[in-house]
């Protein structure tokens, strides 16, 4: 039997796509930066079908690219050329919320927005939220250790995962969905798969921790003189109610205003803006007001207590991605430095980009509590030179070349900047142990 016949036998012929028109949506990423031809797209409906697909591909030595919502930003979820794309679009089983443990089991293809709505129906919420929530899937978020807006409150995806079920490239199933909060029997395979970017196994279902829904919110936009002042402000604002701390800069805010036709966010223009949100089971406005009074060097501020006013403030931060994309396809680099080094890094990265790509436009924004900057460069003639300059600036400050998007193919050549030779040897050994045939996401995370 040839591979196509085996795949059809595994998942049904109607779920093996080979027509170019049908493949197109799976072959390019959200940014348009990464694209490649797929041999086929297969859409298994359950764990056993995933196992059959992997066995068939391993027997033929054909690469497999797991793909969830295809919102990844580092090229890890689209084919490079000639692989089978294994779409999790049909792995959408969503179990009942277990109120006793505060957990739920979700299929890898469940979208974040659906998970959150499911939890909300029982008065709970999911701790991670990202702007791609309508498409991003639980499996993709586990694979990339997604972070987003609320890491300061609930941690990244790694902190939400209690158990994982996954299929190895030889078709064997590993992991557990029993939801044990306490389990000290050796290696933590579930969390080992968090951040593995589809290189070790295909995640088919996840046991997730839920968090209390926090219906009351208050937000403030702070105008500050510098990144150093913004970092000091985070220290003053930190507390049990803090749910988001987003940083952006005057040039980015001007771009968003132009793109969306918005008025100035504050009466006085400021070099740096910090958007802060407090959330709780009771109205947190008083606590936020008291924390703001303790922020040093505050130039200007706007407080938003109702939903409309909050959305008005958030528009300046959330509009950044679309406003940048409207300028052209950006080089997007998601990085982190220790927050104490954020101010030094901001200066260094501006100098690095103007040296590597004079005339290109740099827009910075991010999640300041984690020192997580999204570095967007539009109009760089040499993408590689810009990436190299930015990632070296990150490494010089003791940072990470990927804060929350993963390494993918985009950053694999720079892994050596923040992982030692001994660590890279271990990465390769772990990869060989989980995926001896080497068919899972070749070229992602570990350079070929
Ligand atoms: C507008 C926008 C905003 C975003 N904001 C954020 C943000 O704030 N924070 C953040 O962290 N990310 C953000 N992202 C990036 C992206 O949404 C995340 O990386 C997300 O986790 C990807 O999920 P996905 O289902 O789309 O995965 P995909 O893009 O389909 O895949 C991503 C990676 O995971 C692997 N993978 C997918 N499913 C599985 C599986 N079942 N088993 C094994 N491997 C798998 C793929 O092979 C690939 O390497 C944003 C993206 C967009 C477009």
Give the ligand 1 atom nearest the CA of 108.
41
Q: Where are the domains of the chain?
A: 3-87, 103-212, 216-321, 328-422
Q: What was the pLDDT predicted at 33?
A: 86
Domains 103-212 and 328-422 share a fold: no
Burial class (CB in 10 A: 0-12, 13-18, 19+), 266: middle
Tell me phi and psi for residue 184, to 5 degrees. Answer: -115, 40
Going by the DSSP 8-state scheme, the letter that residue 263 receives in this structure is P
Q: What was the pLDDT predicted at 179?
A: 96
Is the backbone of residue 126 left (phi > 0), alpha (psi -120 to 50) or beta? Answer: beta
Give the residue, by CA position, lying nearest to ligand 1 atom 9: 148
Is the backbone of residue 23 left (phi > 0), alpha (psi -120 to 50) or beta? Answer: alpha
Q: 3-87 is classed in which CATH architecture?
A: 2-Layer Sandwich (3.30)
Half-sphere exposure of 391 (CA within 13 A, CB side): 24
Burial class (CB in 10 A: 0-12, 13-18, 19+), 62: middle
User: Each residue's pLDDT tens digit in the chain (448 positions)?
Assistant: 599 999 999 999 999 999 999 999 999 998 888 999 999 999 999 999 999 999 999 999 999 999 999 999 999 999 999 999 999 999 999 999 999 999 999 999 999 999 999 999 999 999 999 989 999 999 999 999 999 999 999 999 999 999 999 999 999 999 999 999 999 999 998 889 999 999 999 999 999 999 999 999 999 999 999 999 999 999 999 999 999 999 999 999 999 999 999 999 999 999 999 999 999 999 999 999 999 999 999 999 999 989 999 999 999 999 999 999 999 989 999 999 999 999 999 999 999 999 999 999 999 999 999 999 999 999 999 999 999 999 999 999 999 999 999 999 999 999 999 999 999 999 999 999 999 999 999 999 998 7
Task: Report how far apart the first and last C-alpha atoms of the chain are (Å, whole number).
Answer: 30
> Which stretch of DSSP H or E encloses residue 221?
strand 216-224
Q: How far is the CA of 135 from the centre of ligand 1 (A)?
A: 9
Instruction: Give the Cα separation of 173 and 338 in Å (integer).
Output: 38
CB 179 within 8 A of CB 164: no
How many residues comprise the chain?
Answer: 448
Give the ligand 1 atom nearest the CA of 166.
42
Give the residue, by CA position, lying nearest to ligand 1 atom 11: 146
- DSSP-assigned states of every residue in 370-419: GTEEEEEEES-S-HHHHHHHHHHHHHHTT-BS-SSS--TTTSGGGGGGTS
Instruction: Give the Cα separation of 260 and 346 in Å (integer).
Output: 26
Q: How far is the CA of 107 from the centre of ligand 1 (A)?
A: 15
State the Cα torsion 282-283-287-293 to the nearest 10°.
Answer: 180
The domain 328-422 having CATH identifier 3.30.70.2740: the answer here is: yes
Q: How far is the CA of 405 from the centre of ligand 1 (A)?
A: 7
Instruction: Give the Cα separation of 86 and 308 in Å (integer).
Output: 41
Residue to mutate (ligand 1; options 71, 165, 365; most atoms within 8 A of CB): 71
What are the structure tokens assigned to 245, written together?
Answer: 């701390």
3-state secondary structure 297-325: CCCEEEEECCHHHHHHHHHHHHCHHHHHH
Where helices occur in 14-134 by DSSP H, the ranges are: 20-27, 47-60, 112-120
Q: What was the pLDDT predicted at 74?
A: 95
The domain 216-321 having CATH identifier 3.30.70.2190: the answer here is: yes
Q: How far is the CA of 271 from the centre of ligand 1 (A)?
A: 32
Instruction: Return the exposure string of 1-15: e unless at least 16 CB atoms fall within 10 Å of the residue's CB, then b.
Output: eebbebbbebbeeeb
Q: What was the pLDDT predicted at 190?
A: 86
Q: What was the pLDDT predicted at 329?
A: 87
Where helices occur in 203-330 by DSSP H, the ranges are: 227-237, 250-260, 285-293, 307-318, 320-327
Q: How far is the CA of 443 from the centre of ligand 1 (A)?
A: 17
Q: Which residues line ligand 1 (CB under 6 A)?
A: 30, 65-73, 76-77, 88, 108, 130-132, 135-137, 139-141, 143-144, 146-148, 197-198, 202-203, 321, 404-405, 441, 444
Q: What was the pLDDT predicted at 98?
A: 98
Q: How far is the CA of 445 from the centre of ligand 1 (A)?
A: 14
What are the structure tokens assigned to 375, written together?
Answer: 């570095």
What are the structure tokens assigned to 262, written together?
Answer: 């918005």
Instruction: Return the exposure string of 384-412: e unless at least 16 CB atoms fall within 10 Å of the residue's CB, then b.
Output: ebbbbbbbebbbebebbbbbbbbbbbbbb
State the pairing for strand pair 38-42/83-87: parallel
Is the backbone of residue 270 left (phi > 0), alpha (psi -120 to 50) or beta? Answer: beta
Question: How many CB atoms are located within 10 Å of the residue 348 CB?
Answer: 19
> Which stretch of DSSP H or E encloses residue 429?
helix 421-434
Burial class (CB in 10 A: 0-12, 13-18, 19+), 344: middle
What are the structure tokens assigned to 257, written together?
Answer: 């205003």
The topology under which CATH files domain 103-212 is 3.30.465
């Amino acid at each position: 039997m040839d591979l196509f016949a085996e795949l059809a036998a595994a998942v049904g012929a109607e779920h093996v796509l080979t027509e170019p028109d049908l493949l197109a949506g799976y072959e390019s990423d959200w940014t348009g930066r990464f694209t490649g031809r797929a041999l086929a797209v297969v859409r298994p409906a359950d764990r056993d079908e995933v196992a059959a697909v992997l066995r068939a591909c391993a027997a033929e030595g054909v690469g497999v690219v797991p793909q969830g919502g295809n919102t990844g930003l580092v090229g890890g979820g689209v084919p490079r050329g000639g692989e089978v794309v294994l779409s999790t679009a049909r792995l959408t089983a969503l179990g009942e919320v277990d109120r006793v443990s505060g957990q739920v089991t979700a299929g890898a293809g469940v979208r974040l927005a659906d998970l959150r709505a499911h939890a909300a129906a029982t008065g709970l919420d999911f701790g991670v939220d990202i702007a791609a929530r309508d498409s991003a899937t639980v499996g993709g978020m586990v694979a990339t250790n997604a972070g987003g807006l609320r890491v300061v409150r609930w941690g990244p995806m790694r902190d939400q995962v209690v158990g994982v079920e996954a299929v190895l490239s030889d078709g064997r199933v590993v992991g557990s969905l029993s939801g044990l909060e306490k389990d000290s029997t050796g290696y933590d395979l579930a969390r080992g798969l968090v951040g593995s970017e589809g290189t070790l196994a295909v995640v088919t279902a996840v046991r997730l921790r839920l968090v209390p829904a926090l219906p009351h919110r208050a937000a403030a936009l702070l105008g500050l003189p510098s990144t150093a002042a913004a970092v000091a402000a985070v220290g003053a604002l930190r507390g049990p109610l803090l749910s988001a701390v987003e940083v952006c800069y005057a040039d980015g805010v001007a771009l968003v205003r132009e793109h969306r036709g918005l008025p100035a966010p504050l009466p006085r223009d400021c070099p740096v803006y910090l958007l802060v949100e407090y959330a709780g089971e009771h109205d947190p406005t008083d606590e936020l007001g008291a924390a703001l009074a303790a922020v040093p060097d505050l130039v200007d501020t706007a407080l938003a207590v109702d939903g409309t006013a909050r959305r008005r403030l958030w528009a300046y931060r959330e509009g950044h991605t679309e406003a940048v994309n409207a300028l052209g396809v950006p080089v997007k680099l998601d990085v982190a430095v220790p927050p104490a080094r954020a101010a030094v890094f901001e200066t260094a990265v501006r100098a690095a980009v103007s040296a590597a790509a004079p005339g290109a436009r740099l827009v910075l924004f991010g999640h300041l509590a984690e020192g997580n900057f999204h570095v967007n460069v539009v109009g760089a003639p040499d993408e590689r030179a810009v990436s190299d300059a930015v990632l070296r600036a990150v490494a010089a400050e003791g940072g990470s070349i990927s804060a929350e998007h993963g390494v993918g193919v985009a950053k694999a050549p720079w892994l050596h900047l923040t992982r030692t030779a001994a660590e890279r040897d271990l990465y390769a050994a772990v990869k060989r142990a989980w995926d001896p045939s080497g068919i899972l996401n070749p070229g992602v995370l570990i350079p070929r």
